[in-house]
Amino acid sequence: MKVVILCGGKGTRMREETEYKPKPLVEIGGMPILWHIIKNYSYYGFNDFVLCLGYKGNMIKDYFMNFEWFANDFTLHMGEGKGEVTTHAHAMENWNITFAGTGEDTDTGGRVKKIEKYIDDDSFFLTYGDGLADINISNLLSYHRSKNKIGTVTGTRPQFRFGVLEVDESGIATRFAEKPSTDGLINGGFYVLNNK
Protein backbone atom coordinates (compact mmCIF):
# COMPACT_ATOMS: atom_id res chain seq x y z
CA MET A 1 0.00 0.00 0.00
CA LYS A 2 1.39 3.38 -1.01
CA VAL A 3 2.01 6.31 1.30
CA VAL A 4 1.56 9.67 -0.43
CA ILE A 5 3.35 12.55 1.28
CA LEU A 6 2.62 16.16 0.34
CA CYS A 7 5.99 17.95 0.16
CA GLY A 8 5.24 20.91 -2.08
CA GLY A 9 4.27 23.78 0.20
CA LYS A 10 6.40 26.87 0.71
CA GLY A 11 6.35 26.85 4.51
CA THR A 12 5.83 30.61 4.78
CA ARG A 13 5.10 30.49 8.53
CA MET A 14 8.58 29.07 9.11
CA ARG A 15 10.35 31.50 6.79
CA GLU A 16 13.60 31.58 8.80
CA GLU A 17 13.89 27.79 8.36
CA THR A 18 12.33 27.43 4.91
CA GLU A 19 13.87 30.28 2.97
CA TYR A 20 16.70 28.01 1.89
CA LYS A 21 15.14 24.55 2.18
CA PRO A 22 11.67 22.99 2.00
CA LYS A 23 9.82 22.47 5.28
CA PRO A 24 9.99 18.63 5.08
CA LEU A 25 13.80 18.97 5.35
CA VAL A 26 13.71 21.04 8.54
CA GLU A 27 15.53 18.93 11.10
CA ILE A 28 14.26 17.58 14.39
CA GLY A 29 16.78 15.62 16.41
CA GLY A 30 19.32 15.75 13.60
CA MET A 31 17.04 14.26 10.93
CA PRO A 32 14.52 15.92 8.58
CA ILE A 33 10.81 15.92 9.46
CA LEU A 34 10.22 13.91 6.28
CA TRP A 35 12.61 11.18 7.44
CA HIS A 36 10.68 10.88 10.73
CA ILE A 37 7.36 10.59 8.86
CA ILE A 38 8.69 7.90 6.53
CA LYS A 39 10.31 6.07 9.45
CA ASN A 40 6.96 5.97 11.28
CA TYR A 41 5.14 4.41 8.32
CA SER A 42 8.04 2.00 7.79
CA TYR A 43 7.80 0.90 11.43
CA TYR A 44 4.30 -0.38 10.61
CA GLY A 45 5.50 -2.15 7.46
CA PHE A 46 4.61 0.45 4.83
CA ASN A 47 7.69 1.11 2.69
CA ASP A 48 6.35 2.40 -0.65
CA PHE A 49 6.20 6.19 -0.82
CA VAL A 50 5.17 8.82 -3.34
CA LEU A 51 6.50 12.29 -2.57
CA CYS A 52 4.49 15.12 -4.14
CA LEU A 53 7.23 17.67 -4.77
CA GLY A 54 6.90 21.39 -5.32
CA TYR A 55 8.84 24.19 -3.62
CA LYS A 56 12.55 23.30 -3.60
CA GLY A 57 11.67 19.71 -4.52
CA ASN A 58 15.14 19.10 -5.96
CA MET A 59 16.58 19.46 -2.46
CA ILE A 60 14.37 16.57 -1.31
CA LYS A 61 15.55 14.50 -4.28
CA ASP A 62 19.18 15.34 -3.45
CA TYR A 63 18.72 14.37 0.19
CA PHE A 64 17.46 10.88 -0.64
CA MET A 65 19.78 10.35 -3.61
CA ASN A 66 22.66 11.03 -1.21
CA PHE A 67 21.02 9.40 1.81
CA GLU A 68 23.71 6.72 2.06
CA TRP A 69 26.33 9.43 2.59
CA PHE A 70 24.16 11.41 5.03
CA ALA A 71 23.29 8.32 7.10
CA ASN A 72 26.68 6.63 7.31
CA ASP A 73 30.31 7.29 8.05
CA PHE A 74 32.45 6.66 4.98
CA THR A 75 35.99 6.99 3.69
CA LEU A 76 36.68 8.57 0.31
CA HIS A 77 39.95 7.28 -1.20
CA MET A 78 41.46 10.20 -3.10
CA GLY A 79 44.83 8.68 -4.11
CA GLU A 80 45.28 5.71 -6.45
CA GLY A 81 41.77 4.42 -5.84
CA LYS A 82 40.40 7.77 -6.93
CA GLY A 83 36.74 8.13 -6.11
CA GLU A 84 36.52 4.77 -4.36
CA VAL A 85 34.33 4.89 -1.26
CA THR A 86 34.23 2.59 1.75
CA THR A 87 31.03 2.85 3.77
CA HIS A 88 31.21 2.06 7.48
CA ALA A 89 28.21 0.75 9.45
CA HIS A 90 25.98 0.51 6.38
CA ALA A 91 22.61 1.83 7.58
CA MET A 92 20.19 1.85 4.66
CA GLU A 93 16.43 1.75 4.77
CA ASN A 94 14.19 -0.62 2.81
CA TRP A 95 12.17 2.18 1.22
CA ASN A 96 10.87 2.63 -2.31
CA ILE A 97 10.37 6.31 -3.04
CA THR A 98 8.74 7.83 -6.12
CA PHE A 99 9.59 11.51 -6.56
CA ALA A 100 6.76 13.25 -8.43
CA GLY A 101 6.97 16.88 -9.47
CA THR A 102 3.51 18.33 -8.82
CA GLY A 103 4.23 22.05 -9.26
CA GLU A 104 4.98 24.86 -6.84
CA ASP A 105 1.51 26.39 -6.72
CA THR A 106 -0.65 23.26 -6.99
CA ASP A 107 -3.24 22.76 -4.24
CA THR A 108 -3.62 19.52 -2.27
CA GLY A 109 -6.27 17.98 -4.52
CA GLY A 110 -4.27 18.86 -7.61
CA ARG A 111 -1.16 17.20 -6.20
CA VAL A 112 -3.07 13.99 -5.46
CA LYS A 113 -4.60 14.05 -8.95
CA LYS A 114 -1.14 14.42 -10.52
CA ILE A 115 0.21 11.31 -8.79
CA GLU A 116 -2.80 9.01 -9.23
CA LYS A 117 -0.88 7.05 -11.90
CA TYR A 118 1.46 5.83 -9.14
CA ILE A 119 -1.34 4.46 -6.94
CA ASP A 120 -2.12 0.89 -7.92
CA ASP A 121 -3.83 -0.34 -4.75
CA ASP A 122 -7.48 -0.01 -3.72
CA SER A 123 -6.53 2.51 -1.04
CA PHE A 124 -3.58 4.64 0.02
CA PHE A 125 -2.30 6.74 2.89
CA LEU A 126 -1.99 10.51 2.56
CA THR A 127 -0.17 12.85 4.91
CA TYR A 128 1.57 16.20 4.98
CA GLY A 129 5.36 16.36 4.78
CA ASP A 130 5.64 18.71 7.73
CA GLY A 131 3.61 17.12 10.51
CA LEU A 132 4.58 14.56 13.11
CA ALA A 133 2.26 12.68 15.41
CA ASP A 134 2.20 9.54 17.49
CA ILE A 135 -0.19 7.67 15.17
CA ASN A 136 -0.61 3.90 15.15
CA ILE A 137 -0.78 3.48 11.38
CA SER A 138 -2.04 -0.12 11.59
CA ASN A 139 -4.96 0.94 13.80
CA LEU A 140 -5.76 3.81 11.44
CA LEU A 141 -5.93 1.41 8.48
CA SER A 142 -8.04 -1.11 10.43
CA TYR A 143 -10.47 1.63 11.44
CA HIS A 144 -10.74 2.81 7.83
CA ARG A 145 -11.47 -0.69 6.55
CA SER A 146 -14.04 -1.36 9.29
CA LYS A 147 -16.10 1.71 8.34
CA ASN A 148 -16.27 0.95 4.60
CA LYS A 149 -16.12 4.65 3.69
CA ILE A 150 -14.25 6.47 0.93
CA GLY A 151 -11.87 8.17 3.34
CA THR A 152 -10.73 8.42 6.94
CA VAL A 153 -9.05 11.43 8.51
CA THR A 154 -7.43 11.60 11.93
CA GLY A 155 -8.77 14.16 14.35
CA THR A 156 -7.05 15.62 17.36
CA ARG A 157 -7.93 17.96 20.18
CA PRO A 158 -5.22 20.59 20.19
CA GLN A 159 -4.00 22.30 23.29
CA PHE A 160 -3.92 26.05 23.38
CA ARG A 161 -0.43 27.48 23.06
CA PHE A 162 -0.99 29.60 26.15
CA GLY A 163 -2.66 29.18 29.51
CA VAL A 164 -6.13 30.67 29.93
CA LEU A 165 -6.75 33.38 32.52
CA GLU A 166 -10.29 33.80 33.84
CA VAL A 167 -11.27 37.10 35.43
CA ASP A 168 -14.43 38.25 37.20
CA GLU A 169 -16.49 41.37 36.42
CA SER A 170 -14.12 43.59 38.39
CA GLY A 171 -11.04 42.37 36.48
CA ILE A 172 -9.69 40.18 39.31
CA ALA A 173 -8.08 36.92 38.20
CA THR A 174 -10.12 34.02 39.55
CA ARG A 175 -8.61 31.04 37.79
CA PHE A 176 -5.68 30.09 35.59
CA ALA A 177 -5.89 26.96 33.41
CA GLU A 178 -2.58 25.73 32.01
CA LYS A 179 -2.94 25.12 28.26
CA PRO A 180 -6.35 23.44 28.20
CA SER A 181 -7.52 21.32 25.26
CA THR A 182 -10.26 22.58 22.99
CA ASP A 183 -13.62 20.85 22.72
CA GLY A 184 -13.57 20.45 18.94
CA LEU A 185 -11.41 18.26 16.76
CA ILE A 186 -9.01 19.57 14.14
CA ASN A 187 -7.51 17.77 11.17
CA GLY A 188 -4.65 15.61 12.45
CA GLY A 189 -3.16 15.33 8.96
CA PHE A 190 -3.14 11.55 8.50
CA TYR A 191 -5.59 10.06 5.99
CA VAL A 192 -6.53 6.74 4.44
CA LEU A 193 -8.34 7.17 1.12
CA ASN A 194 -9.87 4.74 -1.33
CA ASN A 195 -8.43 4.96 -4.80
CA LYS A 196 -11.71 5.15 -6.70
Q: What is the pLDDT of residues 59-88, one digit of tens each?
A: 999 999 988 887 888 888 887 767 788 877
- Any domain includes 125: yes
- Any domain includes 132: yes
Counting the structural domains of the chain, the total is 1
Q: Which pairing describes strands 48-53 and 96-101: parallel, antiparallel, or unpaired?
A: parallel
**3-class DSSP state of 187:** strand
Average pLDDT over residues 25-43: 94
Range of the domain at 111: 2-155+186-194
- Any domain includes 18: yes
User: Identity (one letter) of the amino acid at 9?
Assistant: G
- Any domain includes 52: yes
- Any domain includes 100: yes
User: Identity (one letter) of the amino acid at 189?
Assistant: G
pLDDT over 70 at 10, yes or no: no
pTM recorded for the entire structure: 0.82
- Any domain includes 146: yes
pLDDT over 70 at 118, yes or no: yes
Going by pLDDT thresholds of 50, 70 and 90, the confidence category of residue 36 is very high
> What phi and psi values does residue 177 have, to the nearest 5 degrees?
-110, 120
Could you tell me the sign of the dihedral formed by the alpha carbons of 118, 122, 127, 132, in that order?
negative
What CATH number is attached to the domain comprising 110? 3.90.550.10
- Any domain includes 175: no
| Range in 113-117, 124-128, 182-186 the model is least confident about | 182-186
Question: How far apart are alpha carbons 2 and 80 in whole angstroms?
Answer: 44
Which pLDDT score, from 0 to 100, does residue 179 have? 64
> Who wins on pLDDT, 57 or 184?
57
User: Which residues, in sequence order, are bridge partners of residue 96?
Assistant: 48
- CB-side neighbour CA atoms (13 Å) of 61: 12
Which pLDDT score, from 0 to 100, does residue 125 have? 98
Contact indicator for 1, 121 with CB cutoff of 8 Å: yes
- Any domain includes 176: no
> What phi and psi values does residue 148 have, to the nearest 5 degrees?
55, 45
